[in-house]
Amino acid sequence: MKLNSLALAVCGAALGLMLAGCGGGGNSSSSSITLAQASDPAVNGSGSLVSSAAASSEVSEANGEKLVMMTVDEAITRFKSLDPEILGLPGEDMSGYQMYPTEKAVPVDGLPCLKITVYDESEVGTNHPEGTFLMARDGTALYKLEGNEVTRLEME
């Protein structure tokens, strides 16, 4: 019985440290709210690129506005429709590139963003990324990630 109590106490302490580390608790900032939403399937999409049946979801923002969040599939479809010139990539269209999204939202400017790594479809198969981008899940913003710097790109 003492062992169960000890295990429960350790788990509780670990949870408390985890919440403190990500800003949880009573005085949470708006970025903490975004991080909490990042685990929500409505923000992160269907969880798999295979199923495209999931519809867009409405997520409440702190100021009460409703934003329509794209699923992962919808975000990738939108990203593929962009002109490579906007992204700083060569080519006429995005058909010569492979895009690999992450499943977790990355908060930028208070918006949950989908991180997308773009690879050139080379015959050699070098696996060298051409760029890493962050697309707001509501489709309103696009950023280029270089190292630890994020640059906002103008979408047409």
For the chain, domain boundaries: 1-28, 38-153
- What pLDDT does residue 63 have? 54
- What pLDDT does residue 62 have? 45
pLDDT in tens, the chain (156 residues): 454 454 444 444 444 444 344 444 433 333 333 333 444 444 444 333 332 233 445 454 545 666 688 999 999 999 999 999 999 999 999 998 999 998 788 999 999 999 999 998 877 777 788 999 999 999 999 999 999 999 999 986
- What pLDDT does residue 145 have? 95
- In the chain, where do the E strands start and end? 57-60, 66-69, 97-108, 111-120, 129-136, 142-146, 149-153
User: Strands 111-120 and 97-108, how do they pair?
Assistant: antiparallel
How far apart CA 121 and CA 116 sit, in angstroms, is 15
Q: Which amino acid belongs to residue 96?
A: G
